[in-house]
Structure 1
Amino acid sequence: MKKKLYSLCMFLSILALILAGCGSGKAEEGADGTGSKVSGIVPMYTPGAGGPNYIISAGIGQIFKNSNVMPGVVLTTEAMSGVVEGTNLLIDRYNQGKPAFAAFTGEALAQAVQGELEQIPGEHPELKAVGWINSTVNHVVVAKDSPIKSMADLKGKRIGALPPGATATNLFNVVLEEGYGVKSSDYKHIPIGYAEIIEGIQNGSIDAGVLPGSLPNPNVTELAQLYPIRILEVEEDILKKMVERHPYFSYVNVESGMYPGQDEDTLMAAFESVIYTHEKTDEELVYNVVKTIMENGEELRKVHPSANISKETILNGIKTPFHSGAEKYFQEVGIEVNQ
């Protein structure tokens, strides 16, 4: 199974590289002879290659290229070590007056704008939203015979999760503390990756694990095929209150049968990923990027099934101001932005 999963990841990474249409040459921004104010290579910073944000961003870049709406512009997907690196590079592009985009979480965008993103000092109101691209669901898993029956039972337990600061870990802590009164200091956080979480559940070195991912999550599927597990549910009233306080978070109902051994519908917390840019990025460019996203939903879902982008979802998880180019498109198609 691990070999199959590895092969799948390799396939997705190769697909993303192909879709990105990346070139090794460089170009300068400037007039391209088509009336546009911008041309050349425009980076789109994302999490690691092979992840949904990378694949979706690469798909957007390829569709944008194929549309020929701005033939002098090439959108290239660049994988970063994390949101701090990607957002810092976006801010650098702002200071240079050069266009760029980033695809991370709505939480990260809100924190950067408000001056709350760790390792990036100061407020950054120059960062502007473009639109939603997908949701990531937090799967909290335990062994099927575990005495842990609810989220409240996680107090005092060993929990494998991504390092502090990761959106998945932040979301997990928000649910535990605000919903169940369990603070991060009330459990032992073991910062490990997905492979180690899968192994830890099987060998008992951790009591629970947090596995974020788009539906269906291949890591959860792999674990459920290797070892009997349960996925912990979060009560709906807790999830609704969470979304009221943290609008860049959300929740989903995962239907029974999505994973081996899951015989009931299960409510789970989720977080939203969005594309954002800075206010100096050309309005025409942002307008056409949003237009590309909105008018090619079916093609983007073929690139990655989590890219369920529509009029109903494009504003999800965004409570920061939009770029004027995005607002222009939304106004034209009757999407009301309330912020």
Structure 2
Amino acid sequence: MLKWGGTLLAAAAVVATAGLAHAETRVTYKSAKTSSSYYQMGVQIAEAIKAGTDGDIIVTVEESQGSVQNVMEVRGRGADYVFTTPPALVGLAQAGKGAFEGKTSPKFADIRALFPIPSLTMHFVVSKNSGITDFAGMEGKSILLGKGSFGAREGEKYLKLFGLEGKIDLAEVELSNAVPALKNGQIDGFVTSGSYPAPNVVEAAASTDVTILSLSEEQIAKTKRAKLVIPAGTYAGQDTDVETTSLPVVAYATAAMDEATAYELTKTFWEQKAKMSETAPWWKGVNKALMSNITTKLHPGAVKYYKEAGFELSESQM
């Protein structure tokens, strides 16, 4: 009986151990509106994490109304919460400024970065027929800014910064109609933001001859945005690198997440990035250079991976 009982106990221990080995870790990934490219990225990350961990980590993507909401929800979320936002918003939350004035929380100090995702990249697209080769050349031309989007607000800001306010014919065309309007000569150019290669810029470059304007180092400095280089060949007819600006976006967790989960999420993201790039080219824009945009602390689990993988980290990130 003792032997039989011992066998049963041993068998039970094996089953219990096997159950632990295959236990799932569930993570919620708060992204953006379902209609946005960032929600699509969230879905792609979820699929990549599931594949890369053999289902040990399951990511559920949640719709969001915006980056401010994502940060705000840190106050009521737990260890399984991952969200995306520009690094600047994390800094504002931790300082109790801007949209977070009067809404501070001790939990904001526990926000920890995991990895960068594609940046919102400014594109200034003009037709070759317009003769525009730089920002000054847009004076007197018909340019579409769109309304309400980050790209529209940023584009309007740049016109003011570079002395073009009131000197451009702002086209009354919806951004969704930018490509046909450019092709038929209704407008000379349009401004858009999106992770490169941006679908509407790909379409424009494929359907007509376009120039994507570069900003000078002085202009980039004036915008106070992060510099980003769109490599030559990203778009049809683009023979040289384009220097422009971007709004970095990063995936964050909090210190409540255990080190092992943060490590696996970060490691799997970078290991699966090349595969994601095969079906969604915007992942090609994510590289080690984007790590410098992370201005707050990384999660200790992420730090562990980055050290193993030979990434150079700043003191403020660790």
Same fold flag (TM > 0.5): yes
- Measured on the aligned residues, the alpha-carbon RMSD in Å equals 4.0
Shift in Å, 1:289: 0.5
Task: Report the counterpart of residue 216 of structure 1 in structure 2.
Answer: 197
| 5+ residue gaps, structure 1 | 1-31
Structure-2 separation of matches of 1:173 and 1:198:
20
1:213 deviates by: 3.0
Conserved 8 A contact 2:53-2:268: no
Structure having the larger proportion of residues in helix: 2
- 8 Å CA contact 2:31–2:83 kept in 1: the answer is yes
Relative to 1, partners in 2 of residues 1:70 and 1:259: Cα closer, same or farther, differing over 3 Å? Answer: closer
Aligned counterparts of 1:55 and 1:273: Cα–Cα separation in 2: 14
- State the 1:263 CA deviation: 5.6
1:181-260 alignment runs, 5 A limit: 181-182=163-164, 194-201=175-182, 208-239=189-220, 241=221, 245-246=224-225, 249-255=226-232, 258-260=235-237
Aligned length: 295
Q: Specify whether residues 100 and 267 from structure 1 end up closer, same or farther in structure 2 by C-alpha distance, changes over 3 A only.
A: same
Give the match for residue 330 of structure 1: 306
1:295 to 249, 271, 287: 271
- Paired amino acid for 2:43: A
Contact 1:132 1:309 in 2 (8 A): no
Which residue matches 1:34? 20
Cα distance in 2, alignment partners of residues 98 and 164 from structure 1: 34
Kept in 2, the 8 Å contact 1:47–1:104? The answer is no
Q: 1:306 aligns with which of 254, 263, 282?
A: 282
Q: C-alpha separation between the residues in 2 aligned to 1:309 and 1:154?
A: 28
Percent identity of paired positions between Structure 1 and Structure 2: 22
Is the 2:205–2:236 contact (alpha carbons within 8 Å) kept by the matching residues of 1?
Answer: yes
**Alpha-carbon distance between aligned partners in 1 of 2:52 and 2:255, rounded to the nearest angstrom:** 24
Secondary structure at 1:315's aligned position in 2? helix
**Aligned counterpart, 2:6:** none
| Cα distance in 1, alignment partners of residues 21 and 48 from structure 2 | 21
Write out per-residue CA displacement over residues 33-56 of structure 1, whole angstroms, 9 at most, x where no aligned residue: 6389x9664221223447543343
Partner of 1:46: 31
> Structure 1, residues 89-143: CA drift from partner, whole Å, max 9, x if none?
x42xx42434211234344444444445547864543332211122343221234
How far off is 1:315 after superposition? 1.1
**1:1-339 aligned within 5 A:** 34=20, 41-49=26-34, 51-68=36-53, 71=56, 73-88=57-72, 90-91=73-74, 94-116=75-97, 118=99, 122=103, 124-146=108-130, 148-154=132-138, 159-161=143-145, 163-164=147-148, 166=150, 168-169=151-152, 171-172=154-155, 175-178=158-161, 180-182=162-164, 194-201=175-182, 208-239=189-220, 241=221, 245-246=224-225, 249-255=226-232, 258-260=235-237, 262=238, 265-308=241-284, 312-313=288-289, 315-338=291-314, 339=316
Corresponding residue number in structure 1 for 2:14:
none
* Maintained 8 Å contact 2:232/2:241: yes
Change (3 A) 1:310 1:233: closer
Task: Tell me which amino acid in the other structure corresponds to 2:251.
Answer: I
Alpha-carbon distance change, 96 to 236 in structure 1, aligned in 2, over 3 angstroms:
closer
Unpaired segments ≥5 residues, structure 2 = 1-17
> For the pair shown, which has the larger CA radius of gyration, 1 or 2?
2
TM-score normalized by structure 2? 0.72
Change (3 A) 1:193 1:61: farther
